[in-house]
């Protein structure tokens, strides 16, 4: 059977279009997967919280060697690890800047005008959950880095949850440490 050349050319053209669409769809899927991986790796897991000062933990913890408990003083003795009050900053910072940093200038402005820095909470434990920093840090020896990441390398203010506060993450850690997962231990 002899197929006219014209029909054969159309069929070839359709096959090429279909093949091109198949390849294009595959590329789109690969690119979307890559974009999701990049977003996840860059910390885009949770909503990002804006902070009034772009506080560098790297400068304070990494370079100056200040321990977490030097500023977050209630972490070993209290239920909550609070954001340090401005009074804590006065221990090192005064009227005279230590650097040329615009962020330090913002801090000195808060010190001069009184009041507190209006930090925005990044970690929020739900009301129905009992969580004690004292129990986790002092008794169970959970390090700050296990939940909050390598803080000493953070150049910018903490603006997202390194380890999101979810039941799944809590249960995983409890299981790894062979700690009770009894509901009433954490849910009140």
Mean pLDDT of 122-150: 93
Q: Between the CA of residue 43 and those of 2, 155, 160, what are the distances in Å? A: 62, 14, 7
Mean pLDDT of 147-161: 94
Mean pLDDT of 156-167: 93
Residue 73 lies in a domain: yes
Burial class (CB in 10 A: 0-12, 13-18, 19+), 101: middle
Same domain, 18 and 76: no
Residue 50 lies in a domain: no
Q: What is the pTM of this model?
A: 0.68
Mean pLDDT of 160-181: 94
Q: Which of 14-28, 46-60, 97-111 has the lowest mean pLDDT?
A: 14-28
How far apart are the C-alpha atoms of 67 and 5, rounded to whole Å? 80
Burial class (CB in 10 A: 0-12, 13-18, 19+), 132: middle
Residue 52 lies in a domain: no
pLDDT at 2 over 80: no
Same domain, 148 and 84: yes
Compute CA 163 distance to the chain's CA centroid, rounded to the nearest angstrom: 7
pLDDT at 4 over 80: no
Is residue 38 very low, low, confident or very high in pLDDT (cuts 50, 70, 90)?
A: low
How far apart are the C-alpha atoms of 114 and 147, rounded to whole Å? 32
Same domain, 140 and 164: yes
Nearest CA to 75 out of 174, 151, 181 is that of: 151
Same domain, 101 and 33: no
Q: What is the average pLDDT score of the chain? A: 86
Same domain, 19 and 95: no
What is the number of domains present in the chain? 2
Domain that holds residue 122: 57-186
Same domain, 118 and 152: yes
Same domain, 36 and 68: no
Residue 153 lies in a domain: yes
Is residue 53 very low, low, confident or very high in pLDDT (cuts 50, 70, 90)?
A: very high
Q: Which of 13-17, 48-52, 96-100, 153-157 has the lowest mean pLDDT?
A: 13-17
Number of H helices, E strands in the chain: 9, 0
Residues 65, 80: contact at Cβ < 8 Å? no
pLDDT at 44 over 50: no
pLDDT at 92 over 50: yes
Q: Between the CA of residue 62 and those of 21, 103, 146, what are the distances in Å? A: 51, 17, 17
Mean pLDDT of 59-80: 92
Same domain, 65 and 155: yes
pLDDT at 42 over 90: no
């Amino acid at each position: 059977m002899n197929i006219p050349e014209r029909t054969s050319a159309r069929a070839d053209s359709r096959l090429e279009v279909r093949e091109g669409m198949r390849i294009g769809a595959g590329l789109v899927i690969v690119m979307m997967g890559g974009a999701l991986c990049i977003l996840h790796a860059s910390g885009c897991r949770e909503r990002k919280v804006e902070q009034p000062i772009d506080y560098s933990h790297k400068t304070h913890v990494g370079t100056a060697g200040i321990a977490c408990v030097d500023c977050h003083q209630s972490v070993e003795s209290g239920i909550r690890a609070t954001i340090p009050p401005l009074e804590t900053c006065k221990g090192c910072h005064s009227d005279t800047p230590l650097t040329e940093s615009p962020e330090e200038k913002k801090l000195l402005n808060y010190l001069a005008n009184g009041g507190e820095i209006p930090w925005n909470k990044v970690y929020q434990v739900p009301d129905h959950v009992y969580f004690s920093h004292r129990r986790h840090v002092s008794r169970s020896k959970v390090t700050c880095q296990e939940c909050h990441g390598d803080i000493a390398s953070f150049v910018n203010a903490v603006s997202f949850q390194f380890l999101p506060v979810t039941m799944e993450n809590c249960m995983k850690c409890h299981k790894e440490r062979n700690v009770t997962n009894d509901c009433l231990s954490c849910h009140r």
